[in-house]
Amino acid sequence: MDLSKRYGNIYSLFIGSQLIVILTGYEIVRDALSNRADVFSDRPNVPVVTIMTKRKGIVFAPYGPVWRQQRKFCHMTLRSFGLGRLSLEPRILEELAVVKNELLRMYTDGEGTAVDLAPLVSNAVSNVISSITLGQRFHHGDRQFRTLLDLMARGLELCVNSPAILINVFPWLYHLPFGAFKEIRQVEKDITVFLKEIIGQHRSSLDPDSPRDLIDMYLVETAQQQESMGTGETSFSEDYLFYIIGDLFIAGTDTTTNTVLWMLLYMTVYPDIQEKVQAEIDSVVGSDRVPSLTDKVSCPFTEATIMEVQRMTTVVPLAIPHMASETTEFRGYTIPKGTVIIPNLWSVHRDPNVWENPDDFSPARFLDENGQILRKEYFIPFGIGRRLCMGEQLAKMELFLMFSNLMQAFTFRLPDGLPPPSMEGRFGLTLSPRPFTVHVTPRHRDLLTSEFRDLFGVSSYLLSSHNFHTICTSFTPRLNIMAFVTHQFIRTLSSTAVRNAAIKHITIIGGGQMGAGIAQVAAATGHSVVLVDTSDDILKKSIKGIEGSLKRIVKKKFADKPEAGEEFVQKILKNVSTSTDAASVVPGTDLVLEAIVENLKVKQGLFGSLDKVAPEHTIFASNTSSLPIADIASSTARLDRFGGLHFFNPVPLMKLVEVIQTPMTSQATFDALHDFSKALGKHPVSCKDTPGFIVNRLLVPYMMEAIRLHEKGHGSKEDIDVAMKLGAGYPMGPFELLDYVGLDTAKFIIDGWHDMDPENPLFNPSPMLNKLVEEGKFGKKTGEGFYKYK
């Protein structure tokens, strides 16, 4: 950062003949990696990396069609195995149980002895990756697995902190038969033998109809592509798989392990913060169960502390180097093709222009005046742009669960009589804390009982054994054992709660146009409806709107029978009641359906609170048009009883309902939602939990492509609208439709999809749309959008 003060936020230097450009500060980094991603997403050809990875895999592979294809497949596969979803929580908790059991053993065997946390944390994090990619976990004492982790760590250290770095200047040094050069070749050989042996075991036991993990899925995809395209025509191969596994292990272990270690180190240096975190966890969770991801929304200070440690330490401070794929002009500078681009993420997180007292450790900076999490766009610990960390969602899950669970169970303090450890860190590919030891003390004395110690050591073998029922009934009072239950077991237990249950009593959250429309249709078909919103004034307006809509029906249906028409209206209105307290009405409902603002955190907070008071049989559903149902459901403990019901506006007139089933939605729940839609007189269509579901997945890209056509000057908005109405028979042109839907809504949807899949060109944002939204021109509702309205 000192150089940027002298030379500016964009400056360059040469290493040998290689031009390197350093980007400093959030605005510069975002502009380059996000707005100019087509130019600055490539990777440089660094000799030592190229020798080790052959420019394959995900992390170091060059930007292009092969990288996009491989990354998309891996991301989709990891999501199918629980990445970013609550279904992955049991695997993480299982590893945490091993860590806590081992810490308890160390405490009882040698009270007062300082502990090196690094091996335990590294093993736990690596085993989570291993369970997804390799389909197995390793015992923390497994010598072969420990050796693999040590080899990977040593390989990284050799690449950046040894004479082997000279290979980048003189590649022939790699072949020298002594010192670091010989060692790095041996490390590469040993890792190759280990991983290829595992791939071979998978190949020999592969069942294409029942893939167990990422390796199986990749082998199946490889066989299919080679059969359809030919071996030489596809990038999928066992060789490429080898480098992907290596990337996932290195990137998924080193960064998360170091962040967890940094968090624990900061807690020992700032014991007052540690006490506040523990107090919050005690208040929200207590001591008779372990923290879950569903507690995250209720633990803002804990999350803020995690975020502040990430900001202070920035474990990948200079990101992975990028490269300019073509000569380009950027902020007044000409950057030649092949220039190495270094985004200084450390500078982003220590910039005094956006962070007050950036060198001070202060979790409160991530909290608003109400004590809730305050998101800041310049907080980018996982990077930004198309090279955004693929494992971001997994890392966030691991960080919260590991930190909250360890804070609940133990107090960490520095050894007596020793000076505080250095907070400078040790720079390699990642910034790791320098070796340190801590005293670990159980916070609850009952942790030391044999019963609790055995419980902490529950293994995957016990969970799958015939003794599972005995384990659950014996220990449930002591631990939230359900956190360990398998996906299939959850579905079996809960499906009986909704099987054959007709939905009769409905609570609709949100009295706006959509919520009121759904309430009207449900009431008209004989359902008992409670419409909930934040104020009586809103609800009065909602009921008035329903009454007005019904009276318009009466004018047509009962033109000659006014008394019958009035009776029709009153009969339907009698089925609708209102409330401003959702928690008081949910205990008597069969279905809770939300139709509130399109904000993931708000929806998660709503369902997380209602989950605590709703009966077991109650189904939850969201009317979201763009957010992943599984992400909304993750704040609850009823993943199997959660689905999507996407209605269309105006609800009384539009026949379609998209019924969305997540990977965790039970068949009984899906059937109940499907039957409910039919009972409303609607035509339900089934859909998986994919961005935009069916209609919006096709409609939003269509509207965005119309904007791009106009942006490029290929057609005026008026001509495009007329062309689609007269040529395609559409009732509205895309710009008229955008103004009707709301430009702010369209931007929200496309921005969310772009964040989920930045490589999909259909989801690219539009500068023209962004500008109109910034100016407050949202369409018909504000009087101006693409067109002006009186």
* Residue numbers annotated as active site: 625, 646, 658, 696
Q: Measured on CA atoms in the order 154, 155, 159, 163, is the torsion positive or negative?
A: positive
Alpha helices in 511-615 (DSSP H): 513-524, 536-557, 562-573, 582-585, 600-610
Type of residue at 648: F
DSSP state of 761: G
Query: Following DSSP, what letter does each residue of 140-191 receive, concatenated?
Result: TT-HHHHHHHHHHHHHHHHHHSSGGGGGGT-GGGGG-SSHHHHHHHHHHHHH
**Encoded tokens for 41:** 């997403």
Measure the CA–CA gap between 745 and 598, rounded to whole angstroms.
8
Q: Are strands 18-24 and 619-622 parallel, antiparallel or unpaired?
A: unpaired
Which stretch of DSSP H or E encloses residue 683? strand 683-688
Place of tokens 């459901």: 633
Contact call for residues 201 and 238 (beta carbons, < 8 A):
no
Measure the CA–CA gap between 614 and 606, rounded to whole angstroms.
12
**Encoded tokens for 246:** 């290596």
389 labelled as ligand-binding?
yes
Give the orientation angle of helix 743-756 with respect to helix 734-741, to 10 degrees: 90
DSSP state of 358: T
Measure the CA–CA gap between 744 and 748, rounded to whole angstroms.
6
DSSP state of 522: H
Contact call for residues 646 and 625 (beta carbons, < 8 A):
yes
**Encoded tokens for 650:** 């105006």
- Paired with 505 in beta bridges are 528
Measure the CA–CA gap between 9 and 22, rounded to whole angstroms.
8
Measure the CA–CA gap between 288 and 286, rounded to whole angstroms.
6
Instruction: Give the CA dihedral 632, 638, 640, 644, nearest 10 degrees.
Output: -40
Q: Are strands 426-427 and 431-432 parallel, antiparallel or unpaired?
A: antiparallel
Which residues make up each annotated binding site for heme?
389
Which residues make up each annotated binding site?
389
